[in-house]
Structure 1
């Protein structure tokens, strides 16, 4: 008989980072992993005390972030490498995709990007002091972006979420409590540890904590998520997470939500100008559809294409082949398809000619051709292609739940972008360029830095 201990995988130990210092321990058991005991009192700052970085000059903060990015890239202590290995062992992303994602993190911490972010969303003057204005009656006033007290509920579908949350929290000079997601327990802590290696006594370092608790745990959230300690809840994630978060919102405690969204592609008849053009369009569309193996809201799941059914079939064949290629943010074979989705797709295979399906549930991509959009949510590298006579015919499928719309050719964005905005869509890009955005320009329909800070006025 096998010894049970020899077949049970060892549990992962997850460190915390509290007000600038590393906290280790295995007191709390969450099944697959262990964490230190959660000291809730240590995670809050009384409002009678200013946050450590409230008065820190922005230039000094940006210098710290740049130095952090440089150290992340060099990684002399192996903190980032250790986090990557831990994520590769227990996370959802393919090892190659995760490695490329980690390698790209330092570029967010460059001075050019930081300046673009601040100037595009706020302006350095309101972060460091008061902006003076005079209204038409001659009445003067001053206002500034005051440092906030924030709880960040992070999403774990891509490491960049942790990085940009830390950058935004640092630039706004506030107090930041990061709730680690169960599918990325290591990235945020590794970045903060790297920052502490640059300058352990820096006010920004002391302003951050990153810990795990089970989402919805009222014993924790009823105590923490209150205006006596924090101003805003910055929530990423799925519908369940946001519904849980919303019940704590009230006077003095605001929700800043990066809601779950669905993205689409709109492809004009110009794609069929030549076989070479069609192949290139399919490749660009696959790039947009397979972002982080389709775990990102930015990943396109429905393609509306000006085509006959026969033309659409040719596109589907090329698209499915392209989805099985390795890319910057995609593996050859992503996570295996959930059983419920596989059953839905297998049911459609039996309904030919009303539905046609290319690909299998092996993670290399599945493409479904149908006259109308399917009534389930495509995931695990699954795309639904719907032919339309005109791109405008696809506008009825856009809504406030539509995040990114990739359009081909780029020149046709002008004719539909206002109509897409009226339908509720938030972001229009050239097909193949869905990745990126949201730094220095609106993200999910708003400027994040503008929403994170507290706006204070001094009026005469």
Structure 2
């Protein structure tokens, strides 16, 4: 592959300084960028107008009568291309990523600082070590994706292949990392991929795909991706695209409504792979109270887990269980409320204000002290409610419910199949709760303060290894080959 730097130019993106003009959102059809303003839309979170080309359904599918462009590309060449792509995505050198960041600010509630941090971290997902770990853990022997790997079971010879799939990825927009992670994982399958853009991240995926085209527009990986926006639930598009004659699986990220909608189309020949909506919790052992200085450090770690994308990510802590009495919990709450007012890499000290329904519920609890105690305020700098049992509202916008428990083992009763990540302090005490948490349905346990990670490089995600799950595992048992 030619490693000479290819100029990247952003075209058709100027709005001539008109802040009221709709944002132009291009599509990518099998590596080819298509611009246009045929269809007007409004973004979900910030209500920003944007326009897209008309959806060309024929350009969004790859016929099953022929293999996808990268089906027979050696995985070593896939890896080399992705490793070359990583540095090309650096914000300081890539005008496409710069334009994506500028445009994202108008549709994403995360704000410039967090979005910029995300964009600066995206190249890390394409590091060779990350990719090699993904392959090793997903496949064991990567030759199983390059061809038909011979094996013998109970004396009978056969051949196995992890065959490249045809996937629709219904992306979530609560973090730009979702789009980058999807492109990296999808490329490693060597399949063909349609990315359905979310209205709160219309630009990250296409900026990455257009950078791939700038490296080599004819590369098999470049031609293995399409990306487009249509309103979620548009049956004129989805009833045609979401069919087994075109795709093998629907990979859906997002909230319950998005997953349930995708389930309507799943059936024989079209499988659903869901990164379900989740919540996360924290367990704080009595060791945290050894000194005020240590307790402040632990509270800052607890706040870091709350702050994941301003508490809009599945790994964001919403309920924290403190091993101690109410006085101990209240001391922790004071420090936690203060720590929530500080900036973190993916969280703002001044976040979105607490919505009215939570405010009204907490106002009622304020009248019930000392059974409940409230720390912080409604101004987006952090709100903490201490109670003997979990509150009956869903904590969002940097709202945390702290519950005192007699032991960390006692806290495991609050974990469910909807619990994704559990942050634990001190970390060595995970051994006494990990089996109970796993039985309850928890999928990930980390040291308190470390809930935010790239989620790739060989780690499972939502109880599975995604690339392994994406593949079509084919067995050929036609007897002994000569």
| 2:25 paired with 1:14 | yes
Instruction: Please state how far the C-alpha of 1:95 moved relative to its aligned partner.
Output: 1.3
RMSD across aligned C-alpha pairs, in angstroms? Answer: 1.4
Report what 2:183 is aligned to: 166
| Alignment deviations for residues 323-380 of structure 1 (CA, whole Å, 9 cap, x no partner) | 1111111111112222222222222222222211111122111111000000111010
Partners of 2:383 and 2:157 in 1: CA distance: 61
Q: Distance in 2 between matches of 1:355 and 1:47?
A: 61
In the other structure, the counterpart of 1:53 is 70
- Separation in 1, partners of 2:382, 2:169: 33
- Separation in 2 of the partners of 1:441 and 1:129? 25
Report what 1:352 is aligned to. Answer: 369
| Residues 74 and 272 of structure 1: CA distance in aligned 2, closer, same or farther (over 3 Å) | closer
Classify the secondary structure of the residue corresponding to 1:403: strand
Q: Is the 8 A contact 1:121 1:441 kept in 2?
A: no
Q: Is residue 323–residue 408 contact of structure 2 (8 Å, CA) maintained in 1?
A: yes
- Structure 2 counterpart SS, 1:100: helix
Q: Distance in 2 between matches of 1:62 and 1:267?
A: 41
Aligned equivalents of 2:91, 2:302: Cα separation in 1: 34
The aligned runs of 1:155-234 (5 Å cut-off) are: 155-234=172-251
Whole-Å Cα distance in 2 between the matches of residues 35 and 242 of structure 1? 24
Question: Is the aligned partner of 1:439 residue 2:445?
Answer: no
Matches within 5 A, 1:144-163: 144-163=161-180
Secondary structure of the 2:352 match is: coil
2:88–2:94: 8 Å Cα contact kept in structure 1? no
* Structure-2 separation of matches of 1:302 and 1:158: 22
* Preserved CA contact (<8 Å) 1:262 1:404: yes
- After superposition, residues 13-412 of structure 1 pair within 5 angstroms as 13-31=24-42, 32-73=49-90, 76-123=93-140, 124-136=142-154, 138-412=155-429
The residue matched to 1:193 in structure 2 has which SS? helix
Q: Deviations over 1:106-149 (max 9, x none)?
A: 0111111110111111131111122222123x111110110000
Partner-residue secondary structure (3-state), 2:88: helix
- Displacement of 1:156 in angstroms is 0.5
Distance 1:362 1:225, change over 3 A: same
Asked if structure 1 preserves the Cα contact closer than 8 Å seen for 2:91 and 2:119, the reply is: no
Look up the match of 1:3.
none
In the TM superposition, residue 75 of structure 1 has moved relative to its aligned partner by 5.3
- Deviating more after overlay: 224-233 vs 360-369: 360-369
List structure 1 runs of 4+ shifted beyond 3 angstroms. 74-77
For normalisation by structure 2, the TM-score amounts to 0.92
Provide the rounded CA distance (Å) in 1 between the counterparts of 2:326 and 2:95. 53
Local SS of the residue matching 1:203: coil
Q: State the distance in 2 between where 1:452 and 1:75 align.
A: 33
Mapped partners of 1:60, 1:89: distance in 2: 37
- Unaligned regions of 5+ residues in structure 2, if any? 1-16, 43-48
For residues 273 and 291 of structure 1, the distance between their equivalents in structure 2, rounded to whole angstroms, comes to 27
Say if 2:415 and 2:441, in contact at 8 Å, map to a contact too: yes
Call closer, same or farther: CA 1:77–1:316 in 2, change over 3 Å. closer
In 2, Cα distance between the equivalents of 1:384 and 1:130?
Answer: 53
Higher helix share: 1
8 Å CA contact retained: 1:94, 1:334: no
For residue 211 of structure 2, give the secondary structure of its aligned residue in structure 1.
helix
Over 3 Å counting, the alpha-carbon distance change for 1:74 and 1:315 in structure 2 is closer
- Corresponding residue for 2:7? none
TM-score (normalised: structure 1): 0.96
